[in-house]
Structure 1
Amino acid sequence: MGHRSKEEKDSITKAPSGPPPDLPELPEPDALWHPIASDWYLSLRESGQAAFYQPSDWAVARYAADLMSKVLLSERGPNGQLVAALNSVMSSLLTTEGDRRRARMELERQKPAGPRLASVSPLDSYRDIAGG
């Protein structure tokens, strides 16, 4: 954390969820990657934390997807050390809610557009009648 004040250390960085509007042109997944690795790599483009990614982070994401693909395509099955290393790389990219919480980053969910699907007014009326 460096030489930050307590207020700075306790602050939470917020970003909107969903794909960042100014995402750079990124390489497509390798055609030889396992489908799960490709899906994971593509999901990063749709995630809010991508707004903070630099070119080196995208290079790490490609490395992680390639490593993931090799693990998934391995005939011998997953190697525990390799899986642990992969989890560490994925964690450094803040790909899970837990990773983001530890880094004090919060992705704000977008409010759904359009009319609300249901109203709670019938419940409010019932509470009024029931005296609750």
Structure 2
Amino acid sequence: MGVRGPIGKRSEERMGHRSKEEKDAVTKAPSGAPDGLPDLPDPSPLWDPIATDWYLSLRESGQAAFYQPSDWAVARYAAELMSRVLDCSERGPNGQLVAALNSVMSSLLTTEGDRRRARMELERKPASKQAPASVTAIADYRSSIGG
């Protein structure tokens, strides 16, 4: 489980012969808000709106099913740090703060690449399929117009 190199493909996109152990090595979780989240602290009213949106989005993310109270504390820390980075309007953001923030966000598996590197996948909801157009409806239309 490395943090360098290219991001691996999702398990269903990989091709070739793999052993059963390799196929089972990926942890899968449903995407979307998990059931039974603990009562979480509300975002600070002093945070930048972007930091607030990011923190609230974690509640709706599938990886939140794996979060422990300490992970939520780290998420609050990251949102506070993000707010401070975004508030550096006069001199611009500090590169070290941005790097630290990216590292903290990565440890929370907030991006697809972070989750793939950790061998975790959020199962995407299948696209809803519409019923194919009815041929009889077209035939009825043609007969109604006299064709």
**TM-score (norm: length of structure 1):** 0.79
Q: Partners of 1:63 and 1:9 in 2: how far apart? A: 35
Cα pair distance change 1:104/1:77, threshold 3 Å = same
Task: State the AA in 1 paired with 2:92.
Answer: G
| Aligned residue among 65, 84, 100 for 1:70 | 84
| Aligned residue among 73, 79, 92 for 2:107 | 92
1:121 is displaced (CA, Å) by 9.1
Equivalent residue, structure 2, for 1:103: 118
Give the 3-state SS of the residue equivalent to 2:41 in structure 1. Answer: coil
1:9 is displaced (CA, Å) by 9.9
Cα pair distance change 1:78/1:111, threshold 3 Å = same
Larger Rg: 2
Equivalent residue, structure 2, for 1:56: 70
Equivalent residues, number:
116
Q: Partners of 1:120 and 1:93 in 2: how far apart? A: 45
- Structure 2: where are the runs of 5+ without partners? 2-20, 136-147
Give the superposed CA RMSD. 2.4
1:84 is displaced (CA, Å) by 0.4
1:79-126 alpha-carbon deviations (Å, 9 max, x no partner): 11110000000000000000000000000012356xx3464899xxxx
